A and B are shown apart, each in its own frame.
Chain A
C-alpha cells in the first residue's frame, strides 16, 4: 500500500502546518515524532507538561540527565531560552488557553470532535489518565495524529465514541495516514487526500458522510 503515509511522513505533514512561534505540546507516542520534522530555523516552542518550555531533542546516550525528561519520561535536552516551572503553572498554561496547539494520539474521534484516547474501558485494565484530559480541553487547537484504521480494520473516526471520553468537542483537526480531516459543524470534512485515496474510499472505510473542505471558504490565516 503505497498510498498511505508512514508515521514519519505523517509527522512531517503535521509539522508543516505548525506556524513559527507557536507554543505546542506533543502527546506521548507518535506525536513526539513531529519534533523531528519542524522546519529548520523555525522557533516552535515545545511544552512538556511535567514542567518545561523550550524542550529540545533526545541527548546522546552519555548525556542523559535523569532530571531532564519529557512527559513520556524519556530523556530530552534544554534549548536556549528554555524555562522550568511547577506542575500547577504547567497545567495553568493549558487550561488558561495559553498553549496554541496540542497534538495527541487517539483511539477514536467523533464527528463532533469528541476524543477518546485514555482508556479502552477493558474491565481488567489498570486505569491511567495522566494529562490527557487537561490537554484535550486546554489548548486553543487540538490536532489528532493517528492511523485512520485500527489494526483490526475499524475506523477511528466515528459517529460517536464508544470508548470512554477524554474530552468533549475538543478536536479541531485529524491527521491520518490516508487523509487530513477538519472537524466542522457538519461533521468531518476532508482537507487533503494522500496518495491514491479517494473521498468515496474514505466514506466506505469510515461509514461516515464526508464532505470535502470548501477551499473557497477556508481561511488559513484565521486559524
Chain B
C-alpha cells in the first residue's frame, strides 16, 4: 500500500540538511507553501540554496527564511518587490549570492531537470548581460544560449488537494511552478488544503501525478474558500477584510491556511 501522507509539517520537512538546494513553489504569494517554509525554519536547516521565482515579500514564508539568515544563495528571476526588504538587505550586505535567471529559462531549466534533458538551447537573453559566459550557438539562422537543468534536493510546493498516492490538483494561478518543480527534486513535498480519498480526484484533472510526489501534508483550508467554493472577503495576502465572512471565520479557525 502506498501512503505518502505525513502526519504533520515537522515530518513533511524532515531530513532537509544544511547546504541543501530547495525549490520553493509560488509566484509572489500565490502558491507559496508558507506552512512548509515555516516548518523548514523551525527544523533549523541553514546555508540553503533556494530556487524560486521571487525572493519573498513581507515578513512571511520565503522572506522570513531569508530574514532568519538560513539562505546562502537564491536562484530566481525577480527578487525585487516593493516589500522584499529582507532580501534587499541581505543582498546589499553581501550575505547572500544571487543567480538571476529569466523567468522562462528558469521554468525550462527546472522542466529539463525533471524530464532528463542534459541541456538545451534557448533564444532568451541573447545579446543581453545575462548571456555573458554562456555558450552561443546558431541554429537555422537564429542564435541560442546553452542552458543547463536546475535540480534540487527538495521541492516544497503548495497545492489544493491531494490523495495518498500523491496525485495533486492546484488552484488557479497558484499552480505556477508547482507541476515542474515536483518533477525536478529528489524529494517533493506538497502541502494541500485537504487530503481526499483515493479515487476522489478526477483522473482527467490531475495536474501532478503521484509518481513525482514523495510526501503530502494537509494544512487546512484557505480563508477565501468555504467547502471548496470561493467566498472572498480577503486581501491579496489572504488576510480577512474587516467585517467579512472570512474575518468571523478566522476568529474560530485554528491552523488554517494563511
Contact = CB atoms under 8 A, between A and B. Distances in A.
B238 interface: yes
A146 interface: no
B64 interface: no
Interface in A142-178: 164-168
Interface in B80-133: 80-81, 84, 87-88, 91-92, 98, 100-108, 110-111, 122-130
Contacts of B81: 73
Contact of B128 (A49, A64, A94, A167): A167
A120 to B, nearest CB: 12
A62 B244 contact: yes
A4 to B, nearest CB: 29
A52 B173 contact: yes
Interface residues of B, number: 61
A50 B80 contact: no
A51 B207 CA distance: 13
A127 to B, nearest CB: 5
A74 B176 CA distance: 15
Given A62-B233, A87-B180, A133 B124 contact: yes
Given A51-B173, A88-B111, A95-B104, A64 B31 contact: no
A27 interface: no
A91 interface: yes
Given A64-B235, A126-B91, A129-B78, A51 B176 contact: yes
B149 interface: no
B6 interface: no
A105 interface: no
Interface string A76-114: 001000001111101110110000000000000000001
Contact of B102 (A65, A67, A73, A134): A134
Interface string A132-146: 111001100000000
B122 A95 contact: yes
A49 B177 CA distance: 11
Given A61-B241, A129-B103, A137-B124, A86 B179 contact: yes
B178 interface: yes
A78 B172 contact: yes
Interface residues of A, number: 49
B126 A88 contact: no
Nearest to B127: A168
Contact of A68 (B77, B173, B233, B237): B173
A50 B28 CA distance: 10
B104 A164 contact: no
Contacts of A84: 170, 172-173, 175
B137 interface: no
B171 interface: yes
A38 interface: no
Contacts of A90: 107
A109 B168 CA distance: 44
B234 interface: yes
B232 A63 contact: yes
Nearest to B105: A134
A133 B130 contact: yes
Contacts of B101: 129
Closest 6 CB pairs of A and B: A91-B104, A134-B104, A168-B127, A87-B107, A128-B80, A73-B28
Given A49-B104, A87-B106, A88-B110, 7 more contacts: A49-B103, A62-B233, A62-B241, A66-B30, A137-B123, A168-B126, A168-B128
